[in-house]
């Protein structure tokens, strides 16, 4: 009788231990997602303070956390609907609001406008928040779009955020010296807002194997992108522009 009781107690203890381990495991990906969200919040503060390099750093850090939260969830087998929703909410802050505040702060506090714009110049910086709005639309669309399991439809929000933070940090001096920089920025805001919610198929960088035949476009993208790293802060602008050109050209070939 005592032996049976001991066995029962041991079995119960193991079950409780397994439940506790699973309970801890399921929170790890969400904790990483929270780090992404925290990075995005700090990036916003840095942007409003005019510290664009630090804002870009925290956007990049958020992208690192965003990469690992999904991967860790799959490795631990603890993916959940809550994690999916948290991921999208965090992404809209880090890759939607943060780059929007970078653009807003630059256009509001740094950029010089021509005199003929008058009072309208004080309104133009607010166009930057279209990036946050369309990023939210893109993320909501992604959550319910079953076509985007192995590739993307529209520009991914992390790529969009890196483009904008890179443009402001790396191209700041050039933009300040360009007479029509305000018009260029407004045009790019509208263009990239469209890219976010467009129906343009864009390839992902997920390798299922290492064969050339299966990954031709990915290897081509990486080989051409490698020398662009020499551009420093402007490298993401060049690389994401190349990504868009490749995706659009592939889309046209299919059509």
pLDDT tens-digit profile of 47-78?
Answer: 999 999 999 999 999 999 998 887 787 787 77
Please give the radius of gyration of the chain, using alpha carbons only, rounded to the nearest integer.
22
Residues in the chain: 255
Phi, psi values for residue 126, rounded to 5°: -70, -15
CATH 1.20.120.1760, domain 22-204, yes or no: yes
In this prediction, residue 171 carries a pLDDT of 95
Nearest-5° Cα angle at 245, 149 to 199: 45
Sort 197 into a burial class: Cβ within 10 Å, 0-12 / 13-18 / 19+.
Answer: middle
**Of the listed ranges 9-23, 159-173, 192-206, the one predicted with least confidence:** 9-23
In this prediction, residue 148 carries a pLDDT of 67
Average pLDDT estimate for 168-188: 95
Q: How many CB atoms lie under 10 A from the CB of residue 241?
A: 12
As a whole number of angstroms, the distance between CA 185 and CA 164 comes to: 10
Average pLDDT estimate for 188-193: 97
Average pLDDT estimate for 148-171: 90
The pLDDT-based confidence of 16 (bands split at 50, 70, 90) is very low
Domain map (residue ranges) of the chain: 22-204
Phi, psi values for residue 174, rounded to 5°: -65, -45
Nearest-5° Cα angle at 123, 121 to 127: 115
Q: How many CB atoms lie under 10 A from the CB of residue 17?
A: 10
Q: Is the model's pLDDT at 80 over the cut of 90?
A: no
Whether 52 and 105 have beta carbons less than 8 Å apart is answered as yes
In this prediction, residue 251 carries a pLDDT of 72
pLDDT tens-digit profile of 90-143?
Answer: 999 999 999 999 999 999 999 999 999 989 999 999 999 999 999 999 999 888
Whether 32 and 67 have beta carbons less than 8 Å apart is answered as no
Q: How many CB atoms lie under 10 A from the CB of residue 31?
A: 11
């Amino acid at each position: 009788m005592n032996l049976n009781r001991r066995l029962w107690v041991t079995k119960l203890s193991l079950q409780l231990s397994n439940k506790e381990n699973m309970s801890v495991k399921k929170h790890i990906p969400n904790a990483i997602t929270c780090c992404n969200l925290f990075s995005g919040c700090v990036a916003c503060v840095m942007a409003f303070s005019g510290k664009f390099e630090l804002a870009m750093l925290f956007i990049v850090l958020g992208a690192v956390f965003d990469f690992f939260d999904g991967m860790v969830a799959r490795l631990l087998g603890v993916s959940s609907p809550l994690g999916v929703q948290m991921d999208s909410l965090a992404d809209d802050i880090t890759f939607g609001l943060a780059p929007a505040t970078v653009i807003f702060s630059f256009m509001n506090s740094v950029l010089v406008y021509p005199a003929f714009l008058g009072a309208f110049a004080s309104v133009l910086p607010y166009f930057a928040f279209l990036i946050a709005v369309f990023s939210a639309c893109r993320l909501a669309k992604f959550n319910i779009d079953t076509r985007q399991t192995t590739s993307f439809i529209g520009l991914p929000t992390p790529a969009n955020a890196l483009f904008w933070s890179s443009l402001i940090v790396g191209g700041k001096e050039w933009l300040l010296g360009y007479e029509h920089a305000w018009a260029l920025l407004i045009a790019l805001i509208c263009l990239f807002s469209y890219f976010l919610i467009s129906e343009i198929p864009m390839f992902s960088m997920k390798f299922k194997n290492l064969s050339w035949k299966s990954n031709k476009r990915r290897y081509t993208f990486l080989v051409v992108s490698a020398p662009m790293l020499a551009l420093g802060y402007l490298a993401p602008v060049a690389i994401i522009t190349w990504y868009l050109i490749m995706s659009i050209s592939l889309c046209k070939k299919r059509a």
